[in-house]
Structures are given as structure tokens and as C-alpha cells.
Structure 1
Amino acid sequence: MPNWTAYSQNNCIFLALLLLGFLSCGGNGDAPEAPAVDEATRSSIEARLIPELSPAEDRAGRQRNAIINRAIDQAYDIQPAPEGYFYEILSPGAYNPLAEGDIVTAHYRGQFLDGTVFDDSRPRGEPLRFTVGELIPAWNLALQRVQPGGAIRILTPSALAYGAGGLVGPRGDTLVPAHTVLEFIIEDINIHEE
């Protein structure tokens, strides 16, 4: 008669290893992600962010709370900015921080708080070229916290992103609905002389 207990244990071990293999292969490998955190770090992030939750029931308060809850769920070590967005320096870069008027190229990924990506420069194979100060407010402000070569995560309420108008693509399709909270990772930042 077969030993079903041993068979079941071996299957459980095999399935657990298979699941770990699938999970470790996730992601696109292109954008820097926050490193895995231990339980003590996760608890520290949660303890620091919970007091940041807003008691307000207006749109701004709900969006702030959604950002904080996303950060707690994902263990993002974000910091609040006085202007209302949150950021995490993933890699500081070198030299002087970016300033308004700098001409920059960078790769980026924009996503909703559920993780759905709405725009990503990597598949296009070309970084975005822009001038700091001519983008959405959250980018204009947060990019001045990082240096060339660095990477930053930005979580922004809609008021500092695309607001009531949302973002409409060139063919008239809605890329970002009105009043949507967004998350961006901006990396491979380079300043260009003109």
C-alpha cells in the first residue's frame, strides 16, 4: 500500500518550490524595484506611515490614504513631500540634483495603484526627453530630489498629475481617467547640454 502521507508531503514541497520559482521570475527586470524587506523593516515603514493617514473624507484625503495604503502593502519606504506627493529615492545618482530648466532624458513607467501599467518607455526602446518644469507638477517637484544617474518612485494624487482632465492619447483614447492617483518610477536620468 502506498504511503500517501509521504506522497502528499513531497507534492507540497514540489508545489511550494514551483510557486517560488514562478514568483521569482515575475516583473520585467528593467525598472529598479525596492529590495525585499524583512518583517522588522516592514513594521517600521508601517509605523512611520500610519500617522500620515488623513482623517479627511474629501477626494484629497481619500487619495492620500490610497497612496499610504499602497506604500504599506508594497513596503515602499516613501517620504511625504510638503506639496502632497510621496517619493522614494531608489538610487540617488551623483553630482548636483536636477533643477528646473534642465534638459533631461529618462526611462519611466507609469502605473495605477493596482499595478496596471498605463505607459512605459522601455518597450519603445527610447527614453523620454523633457525639460524639468514642463511636466506634471509631481514630476517637476520630485525630480529635483534626485541626481543624474538616479532613480525615484513617485506616488502622486491626481491634483499633482492629470487632475480632472485625465490623460487622453493621440487617438482620443483615455490613458488615465480623471482624478486618478498614479505611481511612477523614473530612472536612467541624464542631463543634456543644449
Structure 2
Amino acid sequence: MFNLRFLLILPVLVFVTSCGSDDDIELPPCESETISIEAFAAADTIMYSELDTTGLLYFIVDSGTVERPTETSTVVANYRGIFTDGQIFDQTNTTAGPATFALSNVIEGWQLGVPLIGEGGEIRLLIPSELAYGSQPRYDQFQRCVIPANSDLVFDIRLEEIR
């Protein structure tokens, strides 16, 4: 009887003791030495505007429809995210199609910049790290560094739909 109980409890004990917190995981260094968005903008042929005094730089390629998303909107967008050295870190593609996001669940740079355009609109956002992920690096599910800490980001966005 004792052995049977022990055999039934053993898997539960192994599972519980193996479930440590993410704080126990040693993640690889996640650093980068890309140029600032100011330097990126200065080297570009596009004339960017700054949104108030937020540090967000933008260029509207096409303003799209008159209706604009709000902070409570869900948006469908095609986009390409690059570092200021031109390296792509994320993008939608024709196979998977556009991505759907609640504006309230994305980085602040998107929350501020995407409402500047309507459906069908296109915008380039130069997002300072403070309006992106700040000092927190981002890792993928395999613990590979995707976005280093303090990274300024560039997004080319086409707003397909506002929901």
C-alpha cells in the first residue's frame, strides 16, 4: 500500500519541484550598439516630424481614411520592425497575413503613432527605447535575444483595418 501511494505521488513531487520561477533561468546577454533614432533620421532622406515632445519621430506616407483608431481600438496591420542599423527583428508576411493587436497591449510608440493614420494609411515610426521596451530586453521562447535593452526601433506600418 505504501509503495503504491509513493508511486502515485512521485510524479506530482517531481513536477512541483521542477517548476522553478523564471528568475532561476540565466538568460544570455542581450546588448546592441545601434545608432540613435536621431542619427538614423539625420542620415535618412525623409523629413520626420516629432509628436509633441514625446521623442517619437514619424513620417506619414499615406494618411488613409478619416477615421482614426483610439487607445481602445483593435487594429489589423502589416508591419516591418527594424533596428536603426537596418536589421529586421520582426515583420508580418504574405503567408501569415497581417497581425491583429489591441492598441492598449502594444508598446507606447505604437499607441501614440498608429492613431495618426486611418485605414489604408502608412506610417514610419522612429521609436525611442523609452517608448518601446526601455531597459528590458526581449527574448523569444528559446531564450534568444530578440530586442536588446535600450533599443531604438523603426517600424513601417500599414494600417489595414480598425475594429
Question: Which TM-score tier does this pair reach, normalised by the shorter chain?
Answer: 0.7 to 0.9
Structure with higher strand content:
2
Distance 2:66 2:104 in 1: 20
- 1:141 matched to 2:112? The reply is yes
Distance 2:38 2:55 in 1: 12
* Structure 1: unaligned runs, 5 residues or longer: 1-62
What does 1:72-111 align with in structure 2 at a 5 Å threshold?
72-81=42-51, 82-111=53-82
Q: What SS is found at the alignment partner of 2:104?
A: coil
Q: Displacement, 1:188? A: 3.9
Q: Displacement, 1:189? A: 2.5
Aligned-pair RMSD on alpha carbons? 1.7
Match of 1:158 among 118, 123, 129: 129
Q: What SS is found at the alignment partner of 2:96?
A: coil
**Alignment partner, residue 174 of structure 1:** 145
Q: Displacement, 1:123? A: 5.4
Q: Displacement, 1:168? A: 1.3
Distance 1:68 1:189 in 2: 28
In structure 2, the CA distance between the partners of 1:164 and 1:123, relative to structure 1 (3 Å rule), is: farther
Distance 1:125 1:90 in 2: 24
Q: Is the 8 A contact 2:122 2:158 kept in 1?
A: yes
**Alignment partner, residue 70 of structure 1:** 40
Match of 1:128 among 89, 99, 106: 99
**Alignment partner, residue 157 of structure 2:** 186
Structure with higher helix content:
1
Q: Is the 8 A contact 2:117 2:159 kept in 1?
A: no
Count, aligned residues: 129
Q: What SS is found at the alignment partner of 2:120?
A: coil
Q: C-alpha offsets along residues 70-119 of structure 1, whole Å, 9 cap, x if unaligned?
A: 12212122101122211111110012111111111101100010111011
Scaled by the length of structure 1, what TM-score is found?
A: 0.62
Q: C-alpha offsets along residues 43-78 of structure 1, whole Å, 9 cap, x if unaligned?
A: xxxxxxxxxxxxxxxxxxxx9x82122122121221
Q: What SS is found at the alignment partner of 1:93?
A: coil
Distance 2:155 2:104 in 1: 17
* Structure 2: unaligned runs, 5 residues or longer: 1-33
Distance 2:88 2:94 in 1: 12
**Paired letter, 1:71:** A
Scaled by the length of structure 2, what TM-score is found?
A: 0.73
State the identity as a percent.
30
Give the structure, 1 or 2, with the largest relative contact order (CA under 8 Å, sep 6 or more): 2
What does 1:107-122 align with in structure 2 at a 5 Å threshold?
107-122=78-93
